[in-house]
Amino acid sequence: MSVSTAAVAQTVCPPLPVLGRDVTVPLVTGGEVTYAALDYAASAPALQRVWDDVAAYAPYYGSVHRGAGYLSQLSTDLFENARRTVEEFLDCRPDDQLIFTRSTTDSLNLLAAALPADCQVFVFETEHHASLLPWKDAEVTYLNAPRTPAQAVETLEQALAARTVSNEEGQGPALVCVTGASNVTGELWPVRELAAAAHAHGARIVLDAAQLAPHHPVSVQDLDVDWIAFSGHKLYAPFGSGVLAGRADWLQAADPYLAGGGASRKVTRREDGGVDVEWHDSAARHEAGSPNVIGAYSIASACKALTEAGFDTLVAREQHLIAEVRAGLAEVPQVKVLSLFGDDAPRVGVISFVVDGWNSSHFAAALSAEYGIGVRDGLFCAHPLVRTLLGSDPQTQGECGAPEAAPGEKSLNAIRVSFGAGTPDEHVERFVTAVRELVTNGAKWNYHTENGRCVPAV
C-alpha cells in the first residue's frame, strides 16, 4: 500500500472492534501469526459491542411472554424492543410485520410456506441456495444469469409479462425473489428497479439482504420491497438468529410455520375429542416456542452499532479495502476475478477468483496454513452461478465447500475473500502479498486431500 493510500484509509475510520481480532494461529512453517479472518460472507465475527451487550443482559435472562416475574417482564420488554429497533434499522412500513427466525434460510422457507395457493415464483439462477431452493411447493420460473443490471430488469419484465393467467379473473399471485448483493461476486443488484418491474406486473418481491445489510443501509420503503430477509451471523451478531420483515397479509393468512406454544391465542377441546385452535395474527403466529431472546437482542445491538458508526463512513472504508484487494489481484496475471456485471459494477467486500495452475482448495489451504489467512473455497452454496461464471457444464459434479480434486487437479471451485467493518488494513495487505508469493514461488508445504478437503500433509 502506498503512503498516500494508507493515509486515506486512516482518515476514513478504523475498523470496528470485533471478537477474535487478537487470536493467533500456528503456521505449518513455524511460529504463530494473528489470524486474518477474510470470510465475512460466510459468517462475520461478532462485534465486541454486541458481545458486551449480550453479556450485560445474561444475568437477567428470563422467559419471554410467559412469566409474571421481574426478569420475565424485563426479557419480554427486551425482546419486543429489539423488534422495534430492527424495524427502524430496516425502515419498515407502519403496518409491516417483523418475525425473528433462525437465519435467512429459515426466513425464506417461512415465506415459502406462507405463499397463497397457485403462487408463481420467479428467481434468478444466480441466487444463493437459501433463496433458490425454498419454493419447491410453488410453480417456479428460474431465470438465466443476466450480464448487466439492465438485462436483469429486462429478463424479469419479460418473464412476468409472459406468466400464465391462473384463473378466470386474471393473473394469480406471483413473487420475485432476488439478492441485494451477490455472495459470490459482491456485485449489487438493481433492487429498486426489479421491485418496480415486479409491482408493474402485479407481483410481489422479497429481498435476500444477507450480503447487503452488513455493508449498506437497507430501507424497505425506499427499495419498495414487500419483504426482506437477513441473518444475524452476517450482521456481526452471534449464530442462530435471523429476520423476515414485510407485509403481514400473506403471513397472517397462512398456517403457522411451526405449531406450538406462543403461536396460539386460544386452544379448546371439542366434543369429538379433538382440539380447535385460534392462532395469533401478530408476529407470534410464526414464532412458536420459547423465542431466542439473546439472538433477537444481539441483532438489535448490531443494528444500533452499525447505525451509530454511520454507513457513509463504513462504506467509504470498505470501498478503500475493495480497491486495495482488486488492485493487488490485478497485478497477478494468473488470477481471474469472477464477475457478472463487469469491473465497474458497484459491489460490497466479496470477491471470488480462480488462479491458473492451482486447485482452489489447495490455494485456500496454503493461505491458511502458511499465512494464517481464512478464506472460502468451493461453490459458495450458489452452484448454478459459480458454474456459469466458470463456464462449466451444468451437470459437472461439485460439492458446496468440499471440493474433491487433489492439489494440481482440475476442480470445479473458486476462492472467495470477503471482509467488512471489522477488517484491519493489515489483513488485506497480507492477503495480497500471500497471493503474489504463492503464485510466484509456489507453496512451501506439501498438501493432500483428506475427507474432501485439501490439508497440509503431516
Catalytic residue among 92, 119, 177, 381: 381
Beta pairing class for 453-456 and 376-378: unpaired
Cα-based distances in Å from 254 to 174, 285, 378: 16, 9, 37
**Beta carbons of 356 and 415 less than 8 angstroms apart:** no
Task: Pick the closest to residue 246 from 83, 87, 79 (CA basis).
Answer: 87
**Alpha-carbon dihedral 383, 384, 387, 389, rounded to 10 degrees:** -110
Which residues have CB under 8 Å from 238's CB, separation 6+? 46, 50, 51, 54, 232, 294, 295, 298
Rounded CA-CA distance 388/13 in Å is 37
Q: Residue 454 catalytic? A: no
Q: Which three cell numbers stand for residue 216?
A: 449498506
Task: Pick the closest to residue 50 from 10, 88, 12, 20 (CA basis).
Answer: 20
Which residues have CB under 8 Å from 329's CB, separation 6+? 335, 337, 351, 353, 432, 435
Q: Which three cell numbers stand for residue 306?
A: 452499525
The residue length of the chain stands at 458
Rounded CA-CA distance 2/343 in Å is 22
Which residues have CB under 8 Å from 200's CB, separation 6+? 157, 160
Angle at CA of residue 127, ends 231 and 173, nearest 5°: 90
Which residues have CB under 8 Å from 218's CB, separation 6+? 89, 90, 91, 180, 207, 209, 212, 228, 230
Q: Where are the alpha helices (DSSP H) in 96-213?
A: 104-113, 129-132, 149-161, 191-200
Q: Which three cell numbers stand for residue 96?
A: 409491516
Task: Pick the closest to residue 202 from 226, 179, 219, 228 (CA basis).
Answer: 226
By CB atoms closer than 10 A (0-12, 13-18, 19+), residue 411 is buried
**b (16+ CB within 10 A) / e for 118-135:** ebbbbbbbbbbbbbbbbb
**Helices and strands counted in the chain (H then E):** 14, 19
Active site residues: 381
